[in-house]
């Protein structure tokens, strides 16, 4: 197992899940993907996270992102837990949860950090582009639930910057001005971005979000 770095190919795998056997690459097809781990079934923070993820599924769908969760418990346990999640979060978990009992996927993605816990995964996030390269990794401890608004925000940035020569500034949200890529001269930027370029400094040029 090696640390997965940005730009690496996401390791492919076939594993059992709450929705049957899943192959990562087949499941993702030409979509973007978000793979996120949960320390264990029937735990409070994970229950809130998975319910929230289910409620956000339409937003992930709009962005062409397929969700795939993981915990080291078995598929039968996942199916029972999903009933609880649906009940207490008033939703329907509508994406697979990998049943990683043998920790094959957790090891492949370095999701178990022994100095935090020897047996359970941390809260890892991997965002995978359609070419199967890893575009973002996040690691949260078991005690801190993730912010799904932030996951959508970062997907908006990843998708925007994948297709346009821009970068997104601090706290950026879809529709706000973006930064012209440093590789583009201001002269070229003025031709490329028809809605205008504001030169704050020679190295800091802003332009309206080209997708808004």
**The one among 29, 44, 114, 202 contacting ligand BEZ by CB under 6 A:** 44
Q: Which range in 8-16, 36-44, 99-107, 199-207 contacts ligand BEZ by CB under 6 A? A: 36-44
CB of 39 to ligand BEZ, least distance (A): 4
Instruction: Output the CA torsion sign for 100, 105, 106, 107.
Output: positive
Q: Does 43 bind ligand BEZ (CB under 6 A)?
A: yes
**167 beta partners:** 179
CA atoms within 13 A on the CB side of 32: 22
Please tell me the count of residues contacting ligand BEZ according to CB under 6 A. 9
Q: Is residue 46 annotated as part of the catalytic site, yes or no? A: yes
- Interacting positions 162-191 with ligand BEZ (CB under 6 A): none
Q: What is the DSSP string of 94-129?
A: -S-EEE-TT-HHHHHTT---TTT-SSS--EEEEEE-
Rounded distance between C-alpha atoms, residue 72 and residue 107, angstroms:
11
Token output for 27: 């499941």
Question: Applying CB under 6 A, does 116 fall inside the site for ligand BEZ?
Answer: no
Which residue in this structure is represented by tokens 């910057």? 161
Catalytic residue among 15, 19, 22, 46: 46
The answer to the question of residue 118 lying near ligand BEZ (CB under 6 A) is no
Mind telling me the catalytic residues?
46
- Residues of this chain that interact with ligand BEZ (CB under 6 A) are 39-40, 43-46, 120, 142-143
């Amino acid at each position: 197992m090696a640390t997965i770095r940005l730009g690496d190919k996401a390791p492919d795998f076939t594993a059992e899940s709450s929705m049957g056997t899943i192959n990562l690459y087949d499941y993702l097809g030409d979509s973007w993907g978000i793979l996120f781990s949960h320390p264990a079934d029937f735990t409070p923070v994970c229950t809130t996270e998975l319910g929230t993820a289910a409620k956000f599924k339409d937003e992930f769908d709009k962005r062409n992102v397929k969700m795939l969760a993981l915990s080291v418990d078995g598929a039968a346990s996942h199916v029972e837990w999903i009933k609880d999640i649906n009940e207490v979060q008033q939703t329907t978990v509508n994406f697979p949860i990998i049943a990683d009992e043998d920790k094959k996927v957790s090891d492949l993605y370095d999701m178990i950090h022994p100095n935090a816990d020897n047996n359970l995964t941390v809260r890892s996030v991997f965002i995978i582009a359609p070419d199967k390269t890893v575009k973002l990794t996040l690691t949260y401890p078991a005690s801190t639930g993730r912010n799904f608004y932030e996951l959508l925000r970062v997907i908006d940035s990843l998708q925007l910057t994948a297709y346009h020569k821009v970068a997104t500034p601090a706290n950026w949200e879809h529709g706000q001005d973006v930064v012209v890529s440093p590789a583009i001269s201001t002269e070229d930027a003025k031709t490329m971005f028809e809605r205008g370029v504001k030169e704050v400094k020679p190295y800091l040029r802003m332009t309206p979000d080209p997708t808004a």
